[in-house]
Amino acid sequence: MEPIFIGKGIEYRKEFENYVQILKERLTEKRFYHSLAVAKEALRLAEKYGCDAKKAFLAGLLHDICKDDDPNLQLQLFGEFGIILDTVEKKARKLWHAIAGAAYIKEKLLLNDEEIISAVRYHTTARKGMSLLEKILYLADFTSEDRDYDGVDDMRRAVDVSLEHAMREALIFTVVDLTEKGMPVHSDTMEAYREIVK
């Protein structure tokens, strides 16, 4: 089950076929499909909101590249590249794949694009002062065609109103959801929330 690409989607998929192959080897089928769907949605949002469409597509493709890795492998990568986790990160393993993913595409895939690397780095927590590309990836991860959580239709409407409106909705959704589940909210998420939800 793969998303149907049209127009630039087809071109970019061909251009990035080497990355697509790496993803296919590293990810489960479901996560692979999710990655292609996020790439497609990020491309759509980039064209709508005047961001570099190719960078958005590639950030979408790669954003979860370490998501299916064994936690020990992720820890090994942190050791290898001198990455120190803070208190919340140590406890919240779900945050590791974003930190690991950014290091992996920089250090292992040798992708030399700091904008894409930081979009991957902050795609899970968000942060204050996000770039256009960072916001597009963060939101594409919420609204890609494979998503089916309660409230996804509202998020899809929000993302077509404006990025600011959608960021607000997404951050409220995340902070409420984590709090209800009794999970610690990362300081990057709280700072993004305070900046945007006023």
The binding site for Fe ion (CB under 5 A) comprises: 64, 141
Q: Does residue 41 contact residue 60 with C-beta atoms inside 8 Å? A: yes
Q: Which stretch binds ligand DGI (CB under 6 A): 5-13, 44-52, 148-156, 178-186?
A: 178-186
Specify the amino acid at residue 78: F
In the complex with ligand DGI, the residue whose CB is nearer, 11 or 29, is 29
CA distance 117 to 104: 9
Q: Which of 153, 115, 160, 144 is nearest to 5 (CA)?
A: 144
Kindly report the number of other CB atoms within 10 A of residue 177's CB atom. 14
**Beta carbon of residue 181, minimum distance to ligand DGI (angstroms, whole number):** 8
Residues 106-125 that bind ligand DGI (CB under 6 A): 123-125
- Contact with ligand DGI (CB under 6 A) among 83, 85, 111, 185: 185
Token pair, residue 118, equals: 């930081």
Chain residues that interact with ligand DGI, rule: CB under 6 A? 64, 67, 92, 94-95, 98, 123-125, 141, 174, 178, 183-186, 189
